[in-house]
Amino acid sequence: MISETPNATARGTALSAVVLMAAATALADPAAAQDAEGFTWENATELSFVSTGGNASSSTLGLKASLTGTSGSNAFNLELGGIRGENELTARTATGTTDNFTVTETTTSTLTAESYFSRGRYERAFDGAFLFAGLGWERNTFAGIQNRYATVLGLGRTWVDGETGRFKTDLGVTYTIQKDVDPAPGVDDGFAGARLSVDAMRRISASVNYASTLLADENVQDTGDFRADWTNSVSVGLSDALAFKTSLRLVFDNQPALITVPLSGAPAGTTVLTPGDEVDTVLTVALVITL
């Protein structure tokens, strides 16, 4: 596992911040600045937790929070979340005789899943279309990604926006800095790209909504490096503030990060690097709290 230098982390964070602030300044006008004072904010938090105990214990915690602000033709969204899973195994040994013995227990905790993300996006609408800028960060060490910083700037259109449905598409240019747990030799960690996104929602009934979000990223410097992130969800409202939500997320990476694998038959500690799986799936059942 590599240890990322403070300079590298600062470079990615600073670049993301500069791009978002510059884009927001370029897209905004004096009227927009006045609108910003009257932003209406809404927060939605998704929480899922599974725990088992006894001879074998495990726990999985998932959390996602989304803060959305709107004011006239301006919209801002901030999301953050993560998943963490652990297993605990208890090994028992006995000392003494068959008639008189003492049992010793040793519990070992193993991390089985861990991924985190945060992203922000600003939109400025005009004549049915909108300009947007965004930045994001994610970490998924089990997929070989230590830190990935991404910025995007582009143009989109809202095709449908009503009480019963929404359909939006946009296209943007991106710049990504990716630090892998086990970096491939000679590979540049920064690259430019293009991103297509689709955001759709359909109200099935008064209390049931279906939503789908697709992000497709292409590395224009290496066209074989294509990535897609597709999430489909169904939410059932329990009240104005509570809902159950089931979602399935599919993450595709045509050139997955490298992971370390022990080499059998070689001296102890010998490892090799091999690509991880191209597709990751995340199935979530969560309680959504809206304020």
pLDDT of residue 187: 78
Q: How confident is the model at residue 189 (pLDDT cuts 50, 70, 90)?
A: confident
Domains present along the chain, CATH in parentheses:
6-290 (2.40.160.40)
pTM: 0.78
Q: How far apart are CA 162 and CA 204, in angstroms?
A: 13
Residue in the structure block whose two tokens are 């897209």: 27
Percentage, residues of the chain above pLDDT 70: 87
From 17-31, 66-80, 94-108, the region with the lowest mean pLDDT = 17-31
Q: How confident is the model at residue 167 (pLDDT cuts 50, 70, 90)?
A: very high
The pLDDT of 191-201, averaged and rounded, is 96
Q: Does pLDDT of 27 surpass 70?
A: no
